[in-house]
Chains A and B, each alone.
Chain A
Amino acid sequence: MRLTEAAPGARILAFGGYQPAKVVTNDDLAVSVDTTDEWIRSRVGIASRRIAGPDETVADMAAAAGGKALAASGLAASDIDLVIVATCTPEVPIPNVAASVATRLGIAAPGAYDLNAACAGFCYALGTASDAVRAGSSRYVLVIGAEKLSQWVDWTDRSTCIIFADGAGAAVVGPSDEDTGPGIGPVVWGSDGTMADKIFIQDRNSFIVQEGQAVFRWATTALHPVAKKACEQAGVDPAELAAFVPHQANLRIIEGIARRLGAPQALVADDIVHAGNTSSASIPLALSRMIERGEIGSGDPVLLLGFGAGISYAAQVITVP
């Protein structure tokens, strides 16, 4: 038996992000539920979020973000041979989002699958994409996180409707060479099904339910060791990180983990302020904006940490393309 030729490592070539046009402010929400701008800002750190239009689908947003990442990578659509869409909010179970997105972007006949690790989805997808490139089963992978959480939110439940939002983010992953060096470190991932009842959607007629305090306690106590382990496995000291981009769940969770990470010099992503919690889209969305604004530059080491329902989590160090 013959095996594929392996690549020495994988790296990210480009990012892309997409947010729907409609902005929903805290004051907008205060009209329909009993809350205030001050309460939302102090509890979750969100000032406004974007909500998809009624006819705008997960695939629409995924294709928009994926198209931007593909254009920024300088590759042709025909170069992509695998498309992975991390999502937990597709409109229907089949067909998957990935194959439709590939067709829309002119990517003919790639491997295509959706992956559900909830808010940890992007880091899981990036880890599997990196492994596929290294193993030689793919050369260039389009990795997308896309969510339309608004269709699973009870807009009369003030504990959740203030948090969740819509959007998509994407990355193009390809092989590294001797000049570039590896750009995606080992993934550290895990899960704990005993906490499956802390964030869930009961059935297809139900809305997302979250035990806020339990999730907050878990996130602020269990995740910084995962983040540190990802640094250790990549051989990057937290003190060398240019930025820390955790899932944009809640600004206080982000700050809590960042405090315990031991990377005071690292820029901590706070994209949640104007994006809300977009689950698997939040990390690539934050990254693409930080690159756009010049806050992080080519070659910078950045730590990613996804975490959420399952519960599941994944972290890795990447190098900014």
Chain B
Amino acid sequence: MAMTESEILSGLGEIIDEVAGVPADQVTPDKSFVDDLDIDSLSMVEIAVAAQDKFGVEIPDDQLKNLKTVQDVIDYVRGAGVSA
């Protein structure tokens, strides 16, 4: 089933709320994980693991370091074929 950008964003919001306690409404595409949301490298791993469960897209550690903003993750998940 294809997922839209807004569906991925809302799914990410739930994940980040659960993993890092950041309210989902603060998770907007332009936000930087480190600078805006105060999310560290270990929480990023937890987000990647949860994203794999939710979106069926694996985000390996070597890709994870390139994902700096919420939009980067949305693009990665879409690029991996979820919405194709």
Contact = CB atoms under 8 A, between A and B. Distances in A.
Interface of A: 42-43, 211-214, 216-217, 220-221, 252, 256
A220 B45 contact: yes
B41 interface: yes
B1 interface: no
A170 to B, nearest CB: 32
B61 A214 contact: yes
Q: Which secondary structure dominates where chain B touches chain A?
A: helix
Size class of the contact patch on chain B: 10 to 19
B40 A43 contact: yes
10 contacts: A42-B40, A43-B40, A212-B42, A213-B44, A213-B61, A214-B61, A216-B45, A217-B49, A252-B42, A256-B46
Closest 8 CB pairs of A and B: A213-B61, A217-B45, A216-B45, A213-B45, A216-B42, A214-B61, A221-B49, A252-B42
A42, A212, A213, A252, most chain B CB atoms within 10 A: A213
Contacts of B61: 211, 213-214, 217
A201 B43 CA distance: 27
B53 to A, nearest CB: 10
Nearest to B44: A213
B51 interface: no
A256 B45 CA distance: 12
A220 B64 contact: no
B48 interface: yes
A217 B72 CA distance: 20
